[in-house]
């Protein structure tokens, strides 16, 4: 009986000194927002796999909630996964208010993009279009 008691005490002692598991901190950052192409590019860290598109919830200035139509995520590099989210047609006309990622389902914990990043992406200048009347140059160097 003493042998079993010593074994139990030894197992209890080794399990209490085991290294605690580190929880991954999930972060979501808005890299770019292109309303003309209906695309939002986000950086996602702390997840083991790419989330489904319906787990990304947008809210516009009218407080209307909508989900991404599609999400195309690159492989994780240096702990960061870059995802391109497709905004549904019609919702690109109104400024974005919030962007949220639902973890482990729609009723789980959420991670939100900081408001300063959304404001910065909305204030970014639109891509320049060629001046009216100026000839456009195609990539091969010729004119259309």
The mean of the pLDDT values for the chain is 82
* Confidence band of 58 (pLDDT split at 50, 70, 90): very high
Burial of 87 (0-12, 13-18, 19+ CB in 10 A): buried
68 near 27, Cβ under 8 Å?
no
- Read off the pLDDT of residues 105-142 as tens digits, 9 standing for 90 and up: 888 899 999 999 999 988 876 555 555 555 555 556 55
Residue 39 lies in a domain: yes
Residue 136 lies in a domain: no
Number of domains in the chain: 1
> Given a cut of 70, is residue 88 above it in pLDDT?
yes
Answer with the residue of higher pLDDT: 16 or 69. 69
Residue 132 lies in a domain: no
> Given a cut of 90, is residue 29 above it in pLDDT?
yes
pLDDT at residue 57 in the model = 95
* Confidence band of 95 (pLDDT split at 50, 70, 90): very high
pLDDT at residue 121 in the model = 87
Overall average pLDDT of the 35-43 stretch: 92
| Whole-structure pTM value | 0.70
* Confidence band of 143 (pLDDT split at 50, 70, 90): low
Which structural domain range is residue 31 located in?
A: 27-123
Overall average pLDDT of the 10-29 stretch: 69
What stretches of the chain adopt beta strand conformation (E)? 27-34, 39-45, 56-60, 65-67, 70-73, 80-86, 96-102, 110-112
111: domain CATH number?
A: 2.60.40
């Amino acid at each position: 009986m003493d042998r079993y008691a010593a074994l139990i005490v030894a197992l209890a002692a080794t399990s209490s000194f085991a290294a605690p598991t580190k929880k991954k901190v999930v972060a979501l950052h808005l890299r770019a927002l292109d309303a003309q192409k209906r695309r939002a590019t986000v950086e996602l860290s702390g997840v083991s796999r790419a989330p489904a598109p319906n787990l990304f919830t947008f809210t516009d200035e009218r407080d209307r909630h909508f989900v991404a139509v599609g999400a195309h995520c690159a492989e994780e590099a240096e702990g960061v996964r870059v995802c391109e989210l497709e905004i549904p047609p019609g919702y690109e006309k109104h400024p974005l208010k919030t962007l949220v990622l639902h973890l482990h389902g729609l009723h789980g914990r959420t991670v939100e993009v900081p408001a300063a990043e959304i404001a910065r992406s909305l204030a970014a200048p639109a891509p320049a279009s060629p001046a009216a009347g100026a000839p456009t140059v195609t990539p091969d160097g010729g004119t259309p």
